[in-house]
Structure formats: structure tokens, C-alpha cells
Amino acid sequence: MKYLITIVGPTAIGKTALSIALAQHFNCEIISCDSRQFFKEMTIGTAVPSQDELHAAKHHFIQNKSIFENYTVGDYEKEALLKLDELFQTNDFAILIGGSGLYVDAILKGFDEFPEIATEVRQEVNANYEKLGIEYLQQQLKNLDPDYYQKITTENPQTLQNPQRMMRFVEVCIGAQKPYSTFLNQKKNNRNFTPILIGLDADREMIYSRINQRVDIMINQGLLEEAKALYPNKELNALQTVGYRELFSYFDGDFSLDFAVEEIKKNTRRFSKRQLTWFKRNENTKWFDYAVNRQDIIDYINLNLKI
């Protein structure tokens, strides 16, 4: 039996430290599932593990891509599953850690298969979005796949404000000439491992305090200089990220630096709320307070091993 110990929770809660402790205890390696830590040009603003942390346990999918590459969640699913197959050849355990719920789901459950979409369709949808805004995407989805539009509106309304996901829905509808929803739930994705899900949480004030502190540390570490180096490429998808967008607005002259930093903190706090909402949908996750004794988590994992 192979086990994928999966650690989820809001940003700045302590997932990295726990993952290293568990990797050392179970003598296994770590698969990162943070959709922004993949990019080698983004270090400080994505809270990439330190060199000491990277040396404490073997990590995969940390700064292994460039912001100039078109790297999708589907690409990640394929590559990460291949890496897990490799790791499980010599070990019964691996650790999956990350705050990107969509990417965690890709590994644990998999995604439906969609047809290849012509580059011209993708470019046209993107151009129309740039010209007409998010309302164009919302109206297109409402027209082309009204059932799925209604489902999102009811169950996950913030998705309607996510341009990347909305563009994907619309380009599939147009390119395949079928509603996006017709491609959902068509196949069963089998996994050759058993997931054990661990969630870290804290009361809201503690989470917010930890986030504010992390942002201050990032600024002191040189986030401003890192963002300035990336500023010429600010339109790239990878850089539509909290911590960078706000500083780009500062460079544009729209924000003062103090205001930009406060916006980073505010938007990170909002992001942490969305993370918790996403992860708490999974009833199989066992939640622990962030300050719990790690032995309690190890004991829980051992109880769930099938001998």
C-alpha cells in the first residue's frame, strides 16, 4: 500500500515546516503543490522554502519552470503523477504540500479530459477579454453554457471573477462547439495510492497576524526589488499574483508603497479565506491546530495505515 500524506491549509500557517518534519519521520520526499512556487523567477513573493529547508528534505516542483512557459494544471497533474510513480517504486510514502486547491485536486482526483483548443480561439478570447473585461467572459459563458454558469453562480460565485478560469470555460465552449459542462465527469481517474489528508488551521486573528508578519518579512527580504525586476513582464499569467500585482500598481504610480503593502496583506488575507473554504469541502481531511504537537499528527497518520 502506498500513501500520499497531503498537507493543506491557508497561507502562512506552517505547512512547510510540518511537511519537512513528516518527510524526515517517514523518510520520504516532498511534492510541492503551490502553483506559484513552480516559477524560478519568483522566490520571495511566493515564500519558496529556504535553502536550509530544501536541504532538510528532498523537494520536487520548486522553481522548476519559467514564467515564460505555458504551464497548466493539466501539465502539472501528468508530471507530478509520473514523479509519484517513481518515488513509490522505492518508498511507501510521499508528502504532497500546497495551498493551491485546484492543483491538490488534480493529484488526488484528476481532471476531466478536454479537446485541444486551437491557438487562434485562445488568442481571440484573450483579446476580447482585454478589450471588454470580465463581463464579456461572464456573458459568453452564460450564453454558451447556461447550466454551468448557473452552477458556478450558486456554488462558487468568486469563479466568475477569475479571468483565467473564465477564459478557459469560454475557449472550450467556442473551440469544441459544445458546452464546457458536457466534458465534466466523463471518466474515472484511478490512483495507485491512498491519500491521508492533514489540514492546518488557526483562529482567524492568528492566521491574519501570521500573514501580516510574513508580508513584512518579504518586504525586508527584498520583495520590492524582485517585483521591479519582473515588472516589464507584468502581463504574464504567472505574475497575476498577490504580492506582485500590488507592487506593479505602485510602479505604475497608482499606489503609494505603504498602500501597496497594506493591499498585499489585505488580499493575502482574502486569499486565505478562499483557501479554507476550498479545503474544508473535503470531509476526509483531518484538521489540526497549527501549534499542535507534531507527534499527534504522526499518531493520526499511523492509525490510518492499512497493514
Q: Are residues 97 and 204 in the same domain?
A: yes
Nearest to 46 by CA among 287, 181, 243: 243
Asked whether residue 202 is marked as a ligand-binding residue, the answer is: no
What confidence score (pLDDT) does residue 185 get? 74
What confidence score (pLDDT) does residue 268 get? 96
Q: Are residues 80 and 133 in the same domain?
A: no
What confidence score (pLDDT) does residue 99 get? 86
In this structure, the dihedral spanned by the alpha carbons of residues 223, 213, 32 and 245, taken in order and rounded to 10 degrees, is -40
Q: What tens digit of pLDDT does each residue of 135-158 get?
A: 999 999 999 999 999 999 998 888
Q: Are residues 158 and 135 in the same domain?
A: yes
Query: Is 144:174 a contact under the CB 8 Å cutoff?
Result: yes
Query: Could you give the angle at which helices 163-176 and 134-144 cross, rounded to 10 degrees?
Result: 40
Asked whether residue 195 is marked as a ligand-binding residue, the answer is: no
CATH number of domain containing 232: 3.40.50.300
What confidence score (pLDDT) does residue 188 get? 59
Nearest to 6 by CA among 33, 27, 26: 33
CA 272 remoteness from chain centre: 11
Asked whether residue 175 is marked as a ligand-binding residue, the answer is: no
Q: Are residues 97 and 134 in the same domain?
A: no
Q: How much of the chain, in percent, has pLDDT values that exceed 90?
A: 82
What confidence score (pLDDT) does residue 245 get? 95
- What phi, psi does 266 have (nearest 5°)? -65, -45
Helix (H), strand (E), coil (C) string for 32-88: ECCCCCCECCCCCCCCCCCHHHHHHCCEECCCCECCCCCCCHHHHHHHHHHHHHHHH
Write down how long the chain is. Answer: 307
- Which residues in the chain come in under a pLDDT of 70? 186-188, 307
Distances in Å between the Cα of 22 and the Cα atoms of 4, 17, 28, 208, 264 are 11, 9, 8, 25, 31
- What per-residue string of b and e applies to 169-201 under the rule 16 or more CB within 10 Å gives b? bbbbbbbbeebbbebeeeeeeeeebebbbbbbb
Which residues form the domain of 171?
119-183
Domain boundary among 183, 198, 224: 183
Contacts of 208 (CB under 8 A, 6+ apart): 269, 272
Strands 59-60, 3-8: pairing is unpaired
Q: Are residues 93 and 68 in the same domain?
A: yes
Q: What tens digit of pLDDT does each residue of 258-280 get?
A: 999 999 999 999 999 999 999 99
Cα(146)–Cα(139) distance, rounded to whole angstroms? 10
Residue 93's DSSP bridge partners are: 3
Q: Are residues 166 and 247 in the same domain?
A: no
Q: Are residues 202 and 265 in the same domain?
A: yes
* Most distant CA pair in the chain, distance: 61
Q: Are residues 172 and 265 in the same domain?
A: no
Q: Are residues 48 and 158 in the same domain?
A: no
Look at the chain and report how many structural domains it folds into.
2
Asked whether residue 13 is marked as a ligand-binding residue, the answer is: yes
Cα(283)–Cα(307) distance, rounded to whole angstroms? 23
Q: Are residues 105 and 253 in the same domain?
A: yes
Asked whether residue 134 is marked as a ligand-binding residue, the answer is: no
Q: Are residues 194 and 286 in the same domain?
A: yes
Q: Are residues 298 and 208 in the same domain?
A: yes
Cα(144)–Cα(175) distance, rounded to whole angstroms? 11
Domain boundary among 183, 203, 226: 183
- What phi, psi does 196 have (nearest 5°)? -120, 110
Cα(204)–Cα(42) distance, rounded to whole angstroms? 27
CA 143 remoteness from chain centre: 29
Domain boundary among 144, 161, 183: 183
* Nine cell digits for residue 119: 491557438
Asked whether residue 154 is marked as a ligand-binding residue, the answer is: no
Cα(232)–Cα(63) distance, rounded to whole angstroms? 20
